[in-house]
Amino acid sequence: MSTARSGVGRPASIEAPRETILANAATLFAANGLERTSLQDVARAVGLSKAAIYHYFPTKTDIYDAIVSDLLDTLYHRVLARIGEAESPSEQLRLLMLEHADYFEEHYSQFVTLLHGVAGLGRRPGEAEVRVRDRYEALVRQLVEAGQATGDFAGRDPVLATRAILSLLNWLSRWYKPDGPLRARAVAAEYFEIVHLGLCRR
Amino acid sequence: MSTARSGVGRPASIEAPRETILANAATLFAANGLERTSLQDVARAVGLSKAAIYHYFPTKTDIYDAIVSDLLDTLYHRVLARIGEAESPSEQLRLLMLEHADYFEEHYSQFVTLLHGVAGLGRRPGEAEVRVRDRYEALVRQLVEAGQATGDFAGRDPVLATRAILSLLNWLSRWYKPDGPLRARAVAAEYFEIVHLGLCRR
DNA sequence: GTCTATATGGTGATAGAC
DNA sequence: GTCTATCACCATATAGAC
């Protein structure tokens, strides 16, 4: 079946090394965090040596950055494509939250890596990450503001309303259990109801 | 003024060593996380040697645990005392969120240490920490359920409503900037309005 | 592309003098 | 109670053979 196994001296070989490394690293980062995950751990999970990992990524941080940037980029485009189907801003917001939850569930380790992979708030994220996070936040805010313009929503502070929505979705990564009975989508649907009603009346 | 200074060979001495260590460690843990904060860093901030720190705490993890457990315990009792003044469940919930926000602001580093001090979700928190966190979550849930019983709130799922409320308060630790213009209390007040209305109608 | 072996430095924790 | 000095270990990253 497998073409090779990491043994005593025989060079191993795997397919799609970059993606395999990223997937395994995300699982480890999500469980133990970036700092407590050694490259040795990653290498062992992948089935390569430490030095082989360095062939694909110059530093451990680059692995982390690749996971995060891949995730944020795909999330944005998937959500954007999905909400195009809806007409009213409130329906768009609902679809955004549902699609976000689905995507979260499919890429649980990557989300946890993004949101809880590095401890402490002092780390300055790369400007690319900041840009793509801001873009996503702006998307939500535009929906809220559009809802206020059409009268779907009442005039709450759109910045704080946006933060509330994203807080719910982000902290879902702490409540959610991959093996639990609750689907992320179901939680997000309930959250939407709460927020939606809260936004409707002043 | 100061009784001693950590110099070449002279033993230093500080007052309230335990509290000083905890306060300095919380600042460092909040900024850089538990793993990236060395005991050397803590010792330098406090003004003692590494070995002196070990005189007060057997391991680095014990310092972290002490910060978290002190925080959660005091938070619970302060909030509990505060909401006793109110009569209706919705007013109690409002006071809980405001008091929580005030306490968060006063102990910002400790909250960040609790919520973002350790990376990864694999760490099993101590049973003492779990107990006191569950107790706080139960307090919020009781308010939601009481509000449903009196008709203050409509019949949303109380568990998910509770998680929504705590998600907002917990993720506030990511938006909030100690030097920023927004008071935590003001954000919490707006969050209460959103959630309150969302809970009122089905 | 992958390996073994190693350089280099920091870490948590301890020993023992004062 | 605080210090200096040190231990034993593990980390990231690199060199160079194959």
What are the start-end ranges of the E strands in B35-110? none
B55 touches strand D (CB under 7 A): yes
The residue count of chain B comes to: 202
Among residues B106, B93, B59, the alpha carbon closest in space to that of B199 is found at B93
B119·A122 Cβ contact <8 A: no
Contact A194, B195 (CB under 8 A): yes
Closest CA–CA distance from residue A153 to any residue of chain B (Å)? 11
From the centroid of its chain, how far is CA A53? 23
Closest CA to B64 of B126, B107, B5, B22: B22
Would the Cβ of B12 be found within 7 angstroms of any atom in strand D? yes
User: Residues of chain B whose C-beta is under 8 A from some C-beta in A?
Assistant: 29-37, 112, 116-123, 156-157, 160-161, 163-164, 166-168, 170-175, 187, 190-191, 193-201
Q: Contact at 8 Å (CB) between A68 and A113?
A: yes
What does the pLDDT read at residue A6?
Answer: 43
User: Which residue of chain A is at minimal alpha-carbon distance from B169?
Assistant: A167
pLDDT of residue B10: 74
| Mean predicted confidence (pLDDT) in B74-88 | 96
pLDDT reading at B114 higher than 90 = yes
Distance from CA of B55 to the nearest CA of A (A): 26
Inter-residue contact A173 to A112 (CB < 8 Å): yes
Looking at residue A50, its pLDDT comes to 98
Q: Among B95, B89, B83, which Cα is nearest to B199's? A: B89
Percent above pLDDT 70 for chain A: 94
B120 and A172 within 8 Å at the Cβ level: the answer is no
Q: Best interface-test mutation with B: which of A160, A170, A177 has the largest number of B CBs within 10 A?
A: A160
For residue B199, the surrounding DSSP H or E stretch is helix B184-200
A1-17 CB burial, b ≥16 within 10 A, e <16: eeeeebeeeeeeebeee
**Which residue in the set B32, B119, B172 is minimally distant from A116, CB to CB?**
B119
- The per-residue pLDDT for range A32-57, each reduced to its tens digit, is 999 999 999 999 999 999 999 999 99
- On the question of pLDDT at A9 being above 50, the answer is yes
pLDDT band at A92 (very low <50, low <70, confident <90, very high): very high
- Nearest nucleotide relative to A52: CA against C1': C2
Two structure tokens written together for B7: 């110099």
Mean confidence (pLDDT) of chain B: 93
Q: What pLDDT sits at residue B7?
A: 47
Q: How many residues does this entry show for chain A? A: 202
Residues A118, A116: Cα–Cα separation, whole Å: 6
Average pLDDT (A72-96) is: 96
Report the sign of the C-alpha dihedral through residues B90, B92, B96, B98, in that order: positive
A-chain residue closest to B191, CA distance = A164
- With distances taken from each CA to the C1' atom of nucleotide C18, the closest residue turns out to be B11
- Give the pLDDT score at B201: 60
Q: Closest partner residue to B198 among A120, A171, A193, by Cβ?
A: A193
pLDDT at residue B11 in the model: 83
Query: How does DSSP assign A9-53, residue by residue?
Result: SSPP--SSHHHHHHHHHHHHHHHHTTTT--HHHHHHHHTS-HHHH
The answer to whether the CB atoms of B118 and A29 lie below 8 A apart is no
- Cα→Cα distances B178→A22, A56, B89, B106, Å: 35, 40, 31, 10
Q: What is the pLDDT of residues B144-160, one digit of tens each?
A: 999 999 988 887 899 99
User: Which residues of B1-119 form beta strands (DSSP E)?
Assistant: none
Going from the C-alpha of B169 to that of each of A120, A170, B98, B105, B173, the distances in angstroms are 18, 12, 10, 11, 7
The C-alpha of B171 sits at a distance from chain A's nearest C-alpha, in angstroms, of 5
Q: What is the pLDDT of residue B199?
A: 72
Asked if the Cβ–Cβ distance from A30 to B160 is below 8 Å, we say no
Domains in chain A and their CATH numbers?
A: 17-58 (1.10.10.60), 61-200 (1.10.357.10)
Q: Which residue of A has its CA nearest to B182?
A: A160
Number of A to B CB contacts under 8 A, please give it.
Answer: 140
C-alpha count within 13 angstroms, C-beta hemisphere, residue A104 = 27
- The full DSSP string for A56-88 is H-SSHHHHHHHHHHHHHHHHHHHHHHHHTT--S
Alpha-carbon dihedral sign for residues A30, A32, A34, A38: negative
Q: Per the CB < 8 Å rule, is B191 touching A160?
A: yes
Nearest CA to B90 out of B184, B186, B200, B187 is that of B200
Residue given tokens 């940037």 in the structure block: A69
How far does the CA of B104 sit from the C1' of D10, in Å?
37
* Residue B20: both structure tokens together: 């000083």
Between CA A32 and C1' C14 the distance (Å) reads 28
Residue of A nearest to B154 (CA): A194
Single-letter amino acid, residue A175: W
Give the whole-angstrom CA distance, residue B3 versus residue B62. Answer: 28
- In this prediction, residues A136-162 reach a mean pLDDT of 94
Three-class SS state of B80:
helix
d(CA A26, CA A24): 5
Q: Which residues of A touch B (CB under 8 A)?
A: 29-37, 112, 116-123, 156-157, 160-161, 163-164, 166-168, 170-175, 187, 190-191, 193-201
Q: Which pLDDT does position B8 carry in this prediction?
A: 55
Please answer yes or no on whether A197 and B195 come within 8 Å at the CB atom: no
**pTM confidence score:** 0.95
What is the percent of chain B with per-residue pLDDT over 70, rounded to a whole number?
Answer: 94
Confidence of residue A31 (pLDDT cuts 50, 70, 90): very high
pLDDT value for B35: 98
